[in-house]
Each structure stands twice: as structure tokens, then as C-alpha cells.
Amino acid sequence: MKKIMAYMLTPVLAFGVLSACGPQDSSGSSSNTGKAEKKPDKLVVWEDTDKGVGLEPAAKSFEKKYGIKIQFKEMPMLDQQDKLRLDGPTHKGADVITTPHDRIGPLATEGLIEPLNISSDITSQYTDSSISALTFKGKLYGLPKSTETPVFIYNKKFMKEAPATLDDLYKFSKGDKGGAQYGFLANWTDFYFAHGILSGYGGYVFKDNNGTLDTKDLGLTNKGSLEGADYISKWYKEGLFPKGIIGKKAGQTIDGLFNEKKVASVMNGPWSFQGYKDAGIDIGVAPMPKLPNGEYVKTFIGVKGWNVSAYSEHKKWAQKFVEWITNEENAKIRYEKTQEIPPIKALMKDPIIADNEAAKAVAVQSERGIPMPNVPEMAEVWVPVGNALQLTATGKQDSKRALEDASKTIEQNIKAKHTGK
């Protein structure tokens, strides 16, 4: 089971090799140089594990049109980054890789991936949030292949339809719960899931200044973040969430209870759909209900993209393949084979997604959400904020003190580990 949440929780790898030490443009091979590039016999592409079935049709049609062999290999996305560090300098690595967008900043900083020169005619096909997710310091480093975000999932045995608001869900959870033991569960001591609540109240991680994140401006202690943390604590303090869904094993506990048909609804991502179905649950899927303040839950969006290796000797053609695999026709084929939702505006209105309850819910919620910050400094956020949320949920600290302490830790770690990078 692959999900961007797992990737973004992985600590950022060491940045001993910065962009200044990365590969340099050579003999005009880059698509950004404007110089001619010899047509290669083949391009090497690394795809995510078990996803080659979605890549193969586009690879074959590209080969037919351009006469360039596409040699692709499956491997976990984070493994691709490690392998590129080793194989890239000797030109044995891939021309094209795939990665979750929150790795864009670290990879670009390290000099492993190439900024792309893509026309607005092409980028305008995709949702604004997906393009923003793959942009770092004003430069586009990939094109999106899929998007995912947490949504509202319910057992139709206990709940006929999704509630419109979290207030409605709160009342349901305080009542008979349709016969379930719990009305709703969410892993809100994990910042990946809790962010949607804090952000919906007006909190933020790093200030967004017209597409550029100011890592010196943290919004985790503003009024909105505190309100969001207090709202989360309410569910724990009133016993609507069991004590066992705090900490590292919370997600497993939630899945277990839902699969045992003890829970009417949960907040989870599309990676969980099949497991719930395999447990014999008739699930319904919808965007997250609105917050008590009338705003949408602004969940973190994860975008997987295709990226060109900075070590590639065929950057122009590698970019052309990235454009090819992510165009509307090939993205639709890939969705049919992998069920990963492409953030292409036209496809989100296509019946193939619009008439699919689960896919539509993810698409709609993705439009309401916010891309996870893709800057290297984001690695310093997850643990301190998660600890703060656990302290407030258990009543050991109030939200103000817990988030202030977390913010101080984040600021100190950013200063120590990222100054000058």
C-alpha cells in the first residue's frame, strides 16, 4: 500500500551534496538551453512499485511516435532518490523518476532534479494546487501524475449519507451512532490529518507569499491554530475518541476498529479504500464535512509527479516524455489501470471520475486542500507538532503552551540544520 503520507513522514536525507556540487549543464543537453539535442535510442524511466501497468501504454505510444525506446523499471519512490545519488554521476541512472511532491525542495536543493521549461498551454491543464506543489523557488520541477488527500469514509450500515458539517457529525457521535460503538474516528494527533482542522480555522505552517513559503514565518501559534487544536481536543476530552488512537499506532487502531464494524465513519485517504472493502464493508466516500466555523477542512494534498534527472544526457527528450505520460489521454488510461487520480481539470469533470463517488470525493477535497510544504525545512515540523497535539489531546498541556513549545523547537532546528541551504 503506497501513500504519500508514508513518504512525507520519512526524515529528510542529508544534504551534504548541495546544488552547487550537483551535475552541471553539459554541451547544451538541457531542454532549457535552447540548443539542439541528439535524439537518443532510449530513455530510462523509474516508476513506483506495482504501477508499471499504468506506464506501459504511454511508453508504447511514445516509442511508436518518436522511435525512442522506453526502458522502465519499478522501485519504491524513496529508493529511486537514493539510487539516483549513486548512479546519476556515472550516467547509469534514470532519465525520468517519480517522487512525492514534498521531496521536490530537498531534491532540487541537492541538485538531483532538473527545472522544466513548460509552456502555460500545458501547465494550464492541471489544477493550480498540483502545479504549485511541484514548484520550488519559482521553478517547476515536474508534472503531476496523481493526487491524494484524506476524505470522509463511512460504513453505510450505520450511516445513510455523509453529514454536511462536523457539528452534525459531533451530534451523531454523541447519540446512538446508528448502532456503532463510535460515530467517527480520526488520527488527529498526527499533524498530517490534523492540519486540515488547524488550517480550516486559519492556522498555517509557513506563510505563503505568492507561492513562495517563508520558513521564518510560522503560523502554528496564531489564533486559528489554537482554535483548531482546541476543537481536536474536544473530541478526546469528551470520550468520543478512545484513548488508543493517540501516537504512532493510532492509524492501525482506527483501521482495526473500522474493519471490525465498530465505527460508523473515519477520516482516511484513498490508500485505505480497498482494505475496507476487503473487510466486507459497504463504504461511502465524501469530501470532509465543514467545520463549525463554516469553512472547509483544508487537508494536506499529496501530489506524485514525474521529474527529469539533472544527470540525464537527454533532458529535452526526457521532458517530452514527462509531457507525454501526463497528457489527458495517457493520464486517463493510467487512472483506469491504477485508480490513482490525475489532477487534470478536464478529467475531474469526466464521467470516469465525476460519476465515481470515491474518486470524485478525493478530487473535490483536493481542490479544497493545501499542498504539503515541499521545502526541506518541513522535515522539522512533523514530530514537534505531533507531540504538541498529543499533549493537548491528553490534557497534559493547553494548546497555547504546547504549540508555542513546538514552534520554538521547529525554529531552533531550522536554524541549526538549514541555515544557508
Place of cell 544527470: 311
Pairing status of strand 96-100 against strand 300-308: antiparallel
d(CA 83, CA 103): 15
**Residue 59 parent element (H or E):** helix 52-66
According to the model, what pLDDT value does residue 27 have?
A: 31
DSSP E strand boundaries for 114-191: 135-136, 139-140, 143-148, 151-155
Write the pLDDT tens digit of every residue in 67-108: 999 999 999 998 999 999 999 898 889 999 999 999 999 999
Could you give the residue ranges of the DSSP H alpha helices within 340-395?
Answer: 345-349, 351-354, 357-368, 382-393
* 103: DSSP letter: G
Angle at 418 between CA 416 and CA 419, to 5 degrees: 75
Cell numbers at residue 44, please? 530510462
- Residue 367 to residues 130, 148, 156, 220, Cα–Cα distance (Å): 9, 10, 25, 23
**Residue 92 parent element (H or E):** none
d(CA 126, CA 171): 38
What is the pLDDT tens value at each position of the chain, 421 positions in all? Answer: 334 444 444 433 333 333 333 443 333 333 444 456 789 999 999 999 999 999 999 999 999 999 999 999 999 998 999 999 999 898 889 999 999 999 999 999 999 999 999 999 999 999 999 999 999 999 999 999 999 999 999 999 999 999 999 999 999 999 999 999 999 999 999 999 999 999 999 999 999 988 789 999 999 999 999 999 999 999 999 999 998 899 889 999 999 999 999 999 999 999 999 999 999 999 999 999 999 999 999 999 999 999 999 999 999 999 999 999 999 999 999 999 999 999 999 999 999 999 999 999 999 999 999 999 999 999 999 999 999 999 999 999 999 999 999 999 999 999 999 976 5
According to the model, what pLDDT value does residue 243 have?
A: 85
- Residue 300 to residues 120, 182, 363, Cα–Cα distance (Å): 25, 25, 13
d(CA 134, CA 141): 6
Comparing C-alpha atoms, which of 163, 165, 301, 286 is closest to residue 231? 165
According to the model, what pLDDT value does residue 31 have?
A: 42
Comparing C-alpha atoms, which of 364, 330, 312, 256 is closest to residue 56? 330
Helix (H, G, I), strand (E, B) or coil at 149: coil
Comparing C-alpha atoms, which of 36, 37, 42 is closest to residue 63? 42
327 CA to centre of own chain: 20
According to the model, what pLDDT value does residue 347 have?
A: 95
According to the model, what pLDDT value does residue 36 have?
A: 66
Place of cell 504549485: 132
According to the model, what pLDDT value does residue 244 have?
A: 83
Write the pLDDT tens digit of every residue in 360-407: 999 999 999 999 999 999 999 999 999 999 999 999 999 999 999 999
d(CA 153, CA 281): 11
Q: In sequence order, what are the residues at sequence separation of 6 or more whose Cβ sits closer than 8 angstroms to the Cβ of residue 278?
A: none
Cell numbers at residue 250, please? 493510532
**Residue 416 parent element (H or E):** helix 399-418
